[in-house]
Amino acid sequence: MVPELADDYSAFLKIDLPKELNAATESVEDMLTRLEEFQSLIHMVEADGFQAVNTLTTEILGRKDELKQLGERIDGLDSLVIRVKQDVDKLETLLSTAEAEANASEGAPLLKALGSLFTKKPVVDLPGPSRNVQSSTFTSPDIFSADKVFGPPDAPSTEPE
């Protein structure tokens, strides 16, 4: 009985190594094939990416002068915005001074008082000191002129279309 038991155990422990390794080998080869395909795909994407970067770089360098002109125009517009802001601030100060002198800030703003000039309603005397007091004369501040910045309206445009 011992020999039979030994034969049963030996049959149970017999391994067909080439058969068992064949499945693992096929699995590994399949994975290697997929990794090679993935690697070739990555190389194609990298090559296309580098080509796209090179193309874009060439186009940007070709338009360098246009970009420089655009930057200068943007800087000019920035200066224009600053100048207009300064002019508006000056005019607001002058308007506030004029309202204070006309005593209009207490009830009726200067613009409402000027609006009465264009209607047929009788002019209402605003409260405050006598209107006969001579006020200082208005001096127009030097403000921005579009012709100085953009050129006369007749001038042909230099912008490319």
pLDDT digits (tens, 9 = 90+) for 61-99: 999 999 999 999 899 889 889 988 998 888 888 888 887
DSSP 110: H
Distance CA 75, CA 146 (A): 16
Instruction: Give the pLDDT band of residue 117 (cuts 50, 70, 90).
Output: low
Looking at residue 118, what DSSP letter applies?
G
Do 59 and 65 touch, CB atoms closer than 8 A? no
Mind listing the pLDDT tens digit for each residue in 19-53?
Answer: 778 888 899 999 999 999 999 989 988 888 888 88
The answer to whether the CB of 141 falls within 8 A of the CB of 90 is yes
pLDDT of residue 35: 94
Q: With 0-12 CB in 10 A as exposed, 13-18 as middle and 19+ as buried, what is 109?
A: middle
pLDDT digits (tens, 9 = 90+) for 133-142: 455 677 777 7
pTM of the predicted structure, to 2 decimals: 0.43
